Every structure is written in structure tokens, then in C-alpha cells.
Amino acid sequence: MIRRIARTDRGRKSSKLLKGCTRILPPPVSGKESVEDLVDNTFLAYNSARLREACSLYVEKILRPDVVVGLSFAGALTPAGLGPSVFVPLIEAGFVDWMVTTGANLYHDLHFAFDYPLYMGSHLADDVELHKQDVVRIYDVLLSLTDCLMPTDVRLKEIFMRPEFQKRMGTAELHYYLGKIADQAERKNRKHGVSVLAAAYRARMPIYVSAPGDSSLALNWVESVMLGSELVVDTAIDVNESAAIVWQTKQEGKKAAAILLGGGSPKNFMLQTEPQIQQILKLKGAGFDYFMQVTDARPDTGGLSGATPHEAVSWGKVNPTALSDAVVCYLDTTVALPIIAHYALRKRRARRLRRLYDKRKLYTRKLEQAYRILSAAVRRNHRG
């Protein structure tokens, strides 16, 4: 009798616990479903469920009018064609307000603007033979050394000698000028909407590169310096501008979202804006309000690429009250991102473009002014 009661009590507790859960009983796939129907009705567990949660978070919260959306991406995504297929549509729809990426992604983005082709190949290709034929491989993407990479280098060498590049600047300004050239190339080649740089230029959306010395963009820039160019890329400008974007977002009563595709330096550069505000400048901050990451990196090896939003809370990077609005999806970005973008573009209307490139200097001045006021007050208190 006692045992029967115990089992009954456990059953009642179990029923109460499961009462708020959704039963897993999906409809059969018919082949007539839309992508969003598949996501909503069949992505029910494991990383498919995390992908569904990411789609929902993006559409229902991140794309609200009062949210400023930052997006970082690492890994060779532009060579895989995600520029014209996904990033450009998201930029044009106002679904991204500022970006951080690698110089390599932007270098390869220029191939599309200049109409130098990339090809689908095989990851099983004979690399010795590819080398003999002047073909380079990024897993299963193939590029010609002589018909793609080297012509891009020749054009960059000439570009970096132009008058507008003969000064000290941050990477947002550098990429704005490159975006203008990419936009002109798109028009000339009648290939509208193929370049991330061109789309960002038209939307006046800033793109930062966290490690500007680490790419073929830098190799060509450095060569131009050897030839007399006065271009200096100043990372201090980038650190202050990116922090100012996040700080001003909160000053205006808005929320900040971080979409992180992959990890690496771009991920940290985006998230370090909050420690810059709170830890270094000693200004008031609370961390990002929304966190969405697609990654294949594990958290238990200690690398930043796999670091979770919970860990980021300890650094002040993520608002501790916002963990319910944080999703990590362990998937290849080339699989997840087109689905997320399609889901959002089907369910949300375009947002007003924020044109943060035009506002970045004003925001930086406001950040610097707030820091100077606080520093002066601290000095007065110390003297007192």
C-alpha cells in the first residue's frame, strides 16, 4: 500500500512537470510544406529544436524596432556564396545593423563584385594536381589563382593607392570605400546584389574586421604601403566605434542583440564592447540583451568560439537577466543561416535602415565625453 501511494505521488508530480510541455507528435512530412512549416512543426528536438528557437528568437524579439542587431561571422562563408544568398538580403531588409567579420571574408567577397568566378568542387580533389593547375581549394570550393585571386590583388593594389585611402582610418571607413568600389563594379558587371561590401555601402552599414592584419586584404594594403601609400588602419578607432554603438543603443533606451556565426576573433570583438564600456571605461552597462550563436565549437575546450552565453554573463558581455533569450545552435552555419534568413524574411517586414556608418563618429564623441566626465569626477573625489 505504501509503495502504491509513492508511485502515485511520483506520477502526479510527473504530470504537473509535463503539463506545460508540448507533446512530440508531429504531422507527417508531405513534401508540400514551406520551410517555416518544417521548422515550426518538425524541428522538435536536439539541434533542430535549437535552430527552431533561433528562428523564433530572431523573428519575435531580435527584429523588433527597438533592437540594434550586430552580426559577427567567421569561417569561409563568402566563398560559399552566403553573401548574395543570405547576407545581402538581410542587409537590404534592415535585419542587420552592423557587422564584424574577417578580412578574408571581405577579400573573397570582392571576387563576386569584380565578377571573378568561384566554383563548386570536391573535398576529395587531388591537391597536388590543383596546385599544378593554379587552382586553390577551400574544402569543396575552388578558385583560380590566375583568374580570380591574382586579378583581385592587382585591383586592390591600385585601389589602395587612390586619394581617399591616403590617411589613417578604422576598418569601417576602409570597408565603406571598398564597398563604394564594389557597388560600382556590380553596376558595371550588371551583377546587382552579389557583394556584402556593396550592400553595406548602399545601406551605410558599418563592417568591422577584428584582425585587419590577417588576410589578403592586409597583404595587398601592406604592399601598397611599400609603394608609397599612406594608408594606416587604426584598430583603436574600431574598438571605440563598436563600443560606442552598443553604449549609445542603451543610452537611447534600445536593446542590443548579438548574432554570432562561428566564433573566433569576430565573436570576441563584438562581445568585448560591453567589457570595454563597463570594465575599462567604468561606464554603466548591462550586457547584450539577445544572444544567438551558430557554432560547431565545444565549450569544454576553453576556446572562445565555444564559450556559452552563461559564461559570457560572468564577463558582463551578456545581460544576466537575458539568458532566457539566448540560443546556441550546434550546426554548420552554411546549413543554419539560409534557414534562419528564409524564416525571418517570410515572417517579418523589412525594417528601417539605421545607417550607423553615418552616426558612428557622433556616437564615439558621446562615449568619449561620458568617459571624460566620469574620469574628472573620479579625480575630484580622489583629491577630496
**Residues annotated catalytic, as ranges:** 317
What are the backbone dihedrals phi and psi of residue 327, each rounded to the nearest 5 degrees, phi first? -130, 135
| Whole-angstrom distance, CA of residue 20 vs CA of residue 97 | 36
> Within 13 Å of residue 276, how many CA atoms lie on the same side as its CB?
21
Place of cell 502504491: 4
The DSSP string of 227-261 is: TT---EE-HHHHHHHHHHHHHHHHHTT-EEEEEEE
**What is the C-alpha end-to-end distance of the chain, expressed in Å?**
76
Tell me which residue of 95, 55, 64, 54 sits closest to 253, measured CA to CA.
Answer: 64
| Whole-angstrom distance, CA of residue 211 vs CA of residue 38 | 38
Region for 287 from its dihedrals, namely left if φ exceeds 0, alpha if ψ lies in -120 to 50, beta otherwise: left
Q: What angle do CA 44, 50, 55 make, to 5 degrees?
A: 95
- Report the helix count and the strand count for the chain, using DSSP H and E: 17, 11
Greatest CA separation found in the chain?
A: 92
